[in-house]
Structure 1
Amino acid sequence: MKEYYQSSKDTLRKELLILVLMKNITELERILNVKLPKSYKEYPLTFGYGGIFGRYILGLEELPHDGSVIDATVEYLHKGLPSGFVIIEDVQEFIFVLIQRGKYIL
């Protein structure tokens, strides 16, 4: 019985975390006035944020927060980045961005 209770508690905790992250994703889209691709939306739901082998993908820490995708994008918007771009990695020498489909042609 104790194992069932712990399992149910863990499941509920995961479901609540997913709901909070989905709300944060919606808030991110509202703040930056973009529609994120499904593939990126799944990243913070699965991994949160972080990296491996020298790559660090920005995620959804407390909104907005240093190191969050919102913080990085707003910083570059103030530097002249066109709206519709979302910074997902900032390596100082260069940045990786998501581009809102249909808004820009590369």
Structure 2
Amino acid sequence: MRRESALDSRDSDSRAPHEHRSPRPPLPDRLAVDPRSPHHVAAVLQHDIGIRLNGNERKDVEEYCVSEGWVKVAVGKKVDRHGNPLLIKLKGAVEAFYK
């Protein structure tokens, strides 16, 4: 009698990994990474999000607003008296998208 290997015992309904994910919620007009912010949406942040400012993708965005055309990014390693990063507002054409 032959022993089945792990490769032989696959499920017949195997799916690609992206098909097991929950459906993506629509991206809000304004989103913040900080959980204390009223614009923090945990369901959206569970997915990988990209932000373009003036056509260039930014990876250091803490908060954005598409309709007002700005993003907030951390200023180096500077922190305020509460230990939160200091943020600077950059203005331009903002585009949010799922990666």
Fold conserved (TM > 0.5)? no
Greater C-alpha Rg: 2
Provide the TM-score with structure 2 as the length reference.
0.28
Q: TM-score w.r.t. structure 1 length?
A: 0.27
From the two aligned structures, give the one with the greater helix fraction: 1
